[in-house]
Structure 1
Amino acid sequence: MIFAEDKTKNSCSTVSYIPRSLDLSILTVKQPKPLPQLKTTSSEEEEYIIKNNYVARTLLHEPELPPLTWSNWYKQVDWPKTIVLGSEPFIAFYGICTTPFVWQTLVFTFIWGWLTGLSITAGYHRLFAHRSYQGILPLRYILLLLGAGSVQGSALWWVRGHRAHHRYTDTDLDPYSAQKGLFYSHIGWLLMKPRRKSGIVDMSDLVNDPSVQWQYRNLAILNVTMGFVFPWLVCGLGWGDYRGGYFYAAVLRLLIVHHVTFCVNSLAHYLGDTTFDDKHTPRDHFITAFITLGEGYHNFHHEFPCDYRNALKWFQYDPTKWTIWLFEKLGLAYNLKRFPDNEIRKGEYAMKRKALDKFGQIIIWPKDEEELPVISFEEYQDLASKDTGRVLILIAGFVHDVSNFIDSHPGGRDLLKDHVGKDATVPFHGGIHEHSTAAHNTLAMMRVAICKHGGEVEHLKKQFGHFHTPTPIST
């Protein structure tokens, strides 16, 4: 049996015993033969990629509209959306400046805004776009009615764009790609006519859904009724505040709900962490989650879109998840989908490993054994006895030069001096003191040679044929 030191870069604190008779050659992995490479020219490779890649093929054969110029920009503006979205802030500001606050109106504005906001997050988004749960027919109609009150288009139109966003994230077939800038992904994509069609998606489920088709056919009247008339009448008939019902419960509420939704497309792709994957722009952040009724854990959502949750931990803010859970308890929803926990952990683990690897790149590690000369124990003793000013100590097969450390040794100079020219493996590994991981790591940085027959490293060198002629330690 021989004494050996753990050679892992993360820690040197583990001591193990390896039998001399152990044949480590069985650990050698036979490398598979490389696959034959196709002899193709760059143009052939490009043609193959385009032929088999829908995005590349579409971008090649369906060019976008001509670039905007000073002479044609007004033809490319989506004027109906621009007028609605552009006038909202001014009308709301005028209303705030000219309309007295009535507390009942403000409370109703908050409640109505919350309900119409949830109709987008729990309805358009998690129910209709991702089918992360199923709702009974009355719930579906209620969410579609409230969704019309948010004035964000029909569920059919909204879902079509959102499914394209997920399928073609960050490409030119993504209708609100974050790669085109924060303003574009927030609202710019609505103000201008699309430069090209969004990528194809499967909409057969909603095309054949009677409730969705009912909303689509009656969208204009539902927008006016649920977006403006209903809140106006509630405030007017309820406590006589018709003016506040229009400016606060209708216009100001719509302004807030619109930009809350827009933040999912913009802010959620810029602010936060890539907790589960970093291939695309979605990110997780509690600020975005707070603003968007729980939609801000967006990296999780893009990785696991069929999960009815956006937030995993109990303390993370996701009122949409809690609402869907309540729907289930009330018998309004069923088949709530959850991605397997094990697969979620894999994504989180991979990103943590990647972060650790990146952090490890700035760390200076000890020399590999292949970089160190191999000397005999007698040579080690001879070098240690010479008056060269170097303090050499053998521990676990490695010769260490502790000259620059001896005065800083917590146990004092004399303890180290007593082991110069000797094998100090046992004292270091608990014979005198059980050293910390930091002590092991610090010691590893002082390696200057490997002692023949002195430990695990030398034994491995002989097994794998790495043994070479002893080289003196440079002075």
Structure 2
Amino acid sequence: MAVVLESQPAQAQQTQQTKPVYGGQKAAAATTKPHITDTPITWGNWYKHVNWLNVYLIIGIPMAGLYAATFTPLYTKTAIWAVAYYFATGLGITAGYHRLWAHTSYSARLPLQIFLAAVGGGAVEGSIRWWSRDHRAHHRYTDTDKDPYSVKKGFWYSHLGWMIMKQNPKRIGRTDISDLNENPVVVWQHKHYLYVVLFMGLVFPSIIAGLFWGDWLGGFIYAGILRIFFVQQATFCVNSLAHWLGDQPFDDRNSPRDHVITAFVTLGEGYHNFHHEFPSDYRNAIQWHQYDPTKWFIWTMKQIGMAYDLKTFRHNEIEKGRLQQKQKKIDQAASQLSWGAPLESLPVMSFEEYQEQAKNGKALIAVAGVVHDVTDFITSHPGGKAIIKSGIGKDATAMFNGGVYYHSNAAHNLLTNFRVAVIRGGCEVEIWKKNAHSLTEHVTKGLPAQSQLA
């Protein structure tokens, strides 16, 4: 979800590469030279695959900050300020970059937009325009090669590797950001991003600590450098941890998952399976007990008139998705069990054939038009031998379904294991119909009815 250094848009690079280049063989080589990511990593070229500027910004500077912290005292006021600014810049990403601009899950008044653009820049994760473009690609192409931070390439790749290793911008899935290009706040922040980062990321936290309690260096180290490191790592967890740890209550076709630990780490972005199913919902957590401070921040902004048009999916649609996933898991579990021979695979016999086989020593019982061989079950029948033997050779449907005893669900399931055939016409009633039809014909022809019934 985040990065520090912005790469050139794929569209711009494509335009540049299609321009004619003159100069014979050198020109031809320039236009056909493969991107470094299209070449294998070797001991001789591995350093060319590394995005060294991002390594410096994401890893080098925080390490320097950790070293400086060993000889820089941490005062209580500075610690409180660092934590407060951590939450402010974190909300700049979650409530601003993510839910407002990437997903347009609500609308914000100009003062709120300016605030979120400023503190979001203080998180040092790229401009709104760049960040949202990649995030929309992530949602559109989740877990594919066009996903800029696909967890299918590994946990650490999705967390950090996609930023410290070079990416071919032409391989990232295309998305529509025309709405962002028309937003003056987004355009201004993108144009002046470097100044926003330097001021909001490092200068502003130092000024607050320096002017109010004289701790300029502490503000720079703790509320600046180290706070940036921690808020970045928290955001990166949405790319990695949220696709690796937890449950999938709404859909398991892709990797996003829900887990409370991820929610605590990411200011409420941990209910990621829900989010990928309903991305335009301003909430991540829909239960009252789930941790989502970003949701409550947006809701509070609405109460004071700074936010409006908060989008939510209907409860009915959410529950349908949850129920469909439950049914899918039930069906998967059911497929691992034996449910007896499928009815369509059984041979078909007439009721007379069924009766004939039962008279010749087979313990066959017909229930609901299906013939069951209960030979090996007679001695195990909980109701005793006599009852089950009384149904042999008969249509025992009524007996089984309450005429003698209303059998349990377990009994119905057990009965499926004894299926051997299906009766043509379904049950003994067909014999009565046949006899009644023959009787009518005899009476019509003037023959004695007794001859047919004998």
For normalisation by structure 1, the TM-score amounts to 0.74
Structure 2: distance between partners of 1:129 and 1:137: 17
Among 312, 315, 332, the residue aligned to 2:286: 312
Structure 2: distance between partners of 1:171 and 1:103: 46
Gaps of 5+ in 1: 1-60, 463-475
Among 372, 385, 389, the residue aligned to 1:417: 389
* Percent identity of paired positions between Structure 1 and Structure 2: 53
Judging by fraction of residues, say which structure has more helix: 2
Q: Are 1:358 and 2:332 an aligned pair?
A: yes
The Cα of 1:129 is off from its aligned counterpart by 1.5
Q: Name 2:439's counterpart in structure 1.
A: none
The Cα of 1:98 is off from its aligned counterpart by 4.1
Q: Are 1:175 and 2:148 an aligned pair?
A: yes
Among 378, 403, 406, the residue aligned to 1:431: 403
Residues 368 and 152 of structure 1, relative CA distance in 2, 3 Å threshold: closer
Q: Name 1:449's counterpart in structure 2.
A: 421
Q: Mean alpha-carbon deviation: is it higher for 154-163 or for 103-112?
A: 103-112
Alignment map for 1:37-56 (pairs within 5 Å): none
Among 257, 261, 279, the residue aligned to 1:283: 257
Q: Name 1:148's counterpart in structure 2.
A: 121
Alignment map for 1:127-276 (pairs within 5 Å): 127-197=100-170, 198-276=172-250
Conserved in 2, the CA contact under 8 Å of 1:450 and 1:458? no
Structure 1: distance between partners of 2:59 and 2:336: 49
Look up the SS of the partner of 2:148 in the other structure. Answer: coil
Alignment map for 1:368-407 (pairs within 5 Å): 368-377=342-351, 379-386=353-360, 388=361, 391-407=363-379
Look up the SS of the partner of 2:169 in the other structure. Answer: coil
Q: Mean alpha-carbon deviation: is it higher for 94-103 or for 125-134?
A: 94-103
Structure 1: distance between partners of 2:294 and 2:231: 14
Structure 2: distance between partners of 1:233 and 1:458: 94
Residues 450 and 278 of structure 1, relative CA distance in 2, 3 Å threshold: closer
Look up the SS of the partner of 1:321 in the other structure. Answer: helix
Residues 327 and 393 of structure 1, relative CA distance in 2, 3 Å threshold: same
The Cα of 1:173 is off from its aligned counterpart by 3.3
Q: Name 2:28's counterpart in structure 1.
A: none
Residues 315 and 403 of structure 1, relative CA distance in 2, 3 Å threshold: farther
Residues 361 and 139 of structure 1, relative CA distance in 2, 3 Å threshold: same
Conserved in 2, the CA contact under 8 Å of 1:63 and 1:196? no
The Cα of 1:445 is off from its aligned counterpart by 1.7
Q: Are 1:91 and 2:64 an aligned pair?
A: yes
Root mean square deviation of aligned Cα: 3.1
Structure 1: distance between partners of 2:248 and 2:394: 51
One-letter amino acid of the counterpart of residue 161, structure 2: G
The Cα of 1:179 is off from its aligned counterpart by 3.1
Look up the SS of the partner of 1:448 in the other structure. Answer: strand
Q: Name 2:86's counterpart in structure 1.
A: 113
One-letter amino acid of the counterpart of residue 165, structure 2: M
Conserved in 2, the CA contact under 8 Å of 1:124 and 1:147? yes
Residues 322 and 458 of structure 1, relative CA distance in 2, 3 Å threshold: farther
Q: Name 2:311's counterpart in structure 1.
A: 337
1:79-122 superposed Cα distances (whole Å, 9 cap, x missing partner)? 22211211244235435544555443333322211111111010
1:325-360 superposed Cα distances (whole Å, 9 cap, x missing partner)? 111111100111223445444544443343333223
Higher relative contact order (CA closer than 8 Å, sequence separation 6+): 1
- Choose 1 or 2 for highest CA Rg: 2
Conserved in 2, the CA contact under 8 Å of 1:397 and 1:458? no
Structure 1: distance between partners of 2:120 and 2:412: 63
Structure 2: distance between partners of 1:297 and 1:129: 17
The Cα of 1:140 is off from its aligned counterpart by 0.4
Look up the SS of the partner of 1:450 in the other structure. Answer: strand
Structure 2: distance between partners of 1:418 and 1:202: 74
Conserved in 1, the CA contact under 8 Å of 2:395 and 2:428? no
Structure 2: distance between partners of 1:379 and 1:364: 28
Structure 1: distance between partners of 2:175 and 2:183: 16
Q: Name 2:45's counterpart in structure 1.
A: 72
